[in-house]
Amino acid sequence: MSTFDEIRRITNALAKDVSDFTGVKASLVVNVIQYARRLSRPTNPDVIEELVFIAQMGQRFGITSLFHVKLMFDAIRIKDTKLVRVEEYVKLICIFYSKNLDVKIDFVFSVYDFYHDHQISPNEMTALLKTAIVSSGEDDAVEQLKELIEMVLLEFDSDKDGLISLEEFSVIVSPQSSATEDWGKLG
């Protein structure tokens, strides 16, 4: 069993690391750590279960797409488990609160890069974009999805390798990007 001083030391060290990484005030990070520890298992206060994570994303942040919540979970989970470390959960929550756009972009890219190969492939784009297609039939939907991916690659794959790198993704989602302005006009 940890002593109070050990817990405080560990909490403060984690808060400093997460604060340095995200730019979120250390005092807020400490509050997130304390909250996250309340979500953990009584038998193992270092982890949070997948169902708790899913519920928190819906209740606290209004993220109700199970597909997207599971992608976030998979990006931070302990390999081959349905658990996340409290530290990773805290970092994720602080990324939400961060004003550092690069930190947010890096995280979103890691979520979309579910093969963890540092690029977004047409297969990953297919999984991400298939819910955006509304069509009258299966063949029509497949063709529309294929065309959408071709358009994305034509517009944003600057090195023409058939993949979206972190650098290319950053250009796509940056507020200064003409792509962001063009896509914003559609809504």
Q: DSSP readout, 146-160?
A: HHHHHHHHHHH-TT-
Percent of the chain with pLDDT over 70: 91
- State the DSSP H helix or E strand holding residue 83, giving kind and residue range, or none if neither: strand 83-85
Cα dihedral across residues 33, 34, 35, 41: positive or negative:
positive
**Predicted local distance difference test score (pLDDT) of residue 187:** 41
Residues 6 or more apart from 160 whose CB is under 8 A from it? none
- Give burial (CB, 10 Å; 0-12/13-18/19+) of 153: middle
**Predicted local distance difference test score (pLDDT) of residue 182:** 52
25-42 confidence digits (pLDDT tens): 999 999 999 999 999 988
More reliable by pLDDT, 143 or 58? 58
- State the DSSP H helix or E strand holding residue 17, giving kind and residue range, or none if neither: helix 4-22
**Predicted local distance difference test score (pLDDT) of residue 45:** 85
Asked if the model's pLDDT at residue 8 lies above 60, the reply is: yes
Average pLDDT of 67-74?
Answer: 94
In the predicted model, what is the mean pLDDT of the chain? 89
* End-to-end C-alpha distance for the chain, whole angstroms: 54
Q: Determine the residue type at 101.
A: L
Taking each helix axis from N to C end, the angle separating 101-112 and 166-173, rounded to the nearest 10 degrees, works out to 120
Average pLDDT of 96-102?
Answer: 95
Q: Residue 77 — pLDDT band, cuts 50, 70, 90?
A: very high
SS3 84: strand
Q: Residue 165 — pLDDT band, cuts 50, 70, 90?
A: very high
**Predicted local distance difference test score (pLDDT) of residue 142:** 84
Write down the pTM of the prediction.
Answer: 0.83
How many residues would you count in the chain? 187
DSSP H stretches of helix in 77-129: 86-97, 101-112, 122-129
Other beta carbons within 10 Å of 112? 18
- Write phi, then psi, for 146 (nearest 5 degrees): -60, -45
Average pLDDT of 83-99?
Answer: 96
**Predicted local distance difference test score (pLDDT) of residue 21:** 96
113-135 confidence digits (pLDDT tens): 988 899 999 999 999 888 777 76
Q: How far is CA 177 from the centre of its chain?
A: 21
**Predicted local distance difference test score (pLDDT) of residue 1:** 57
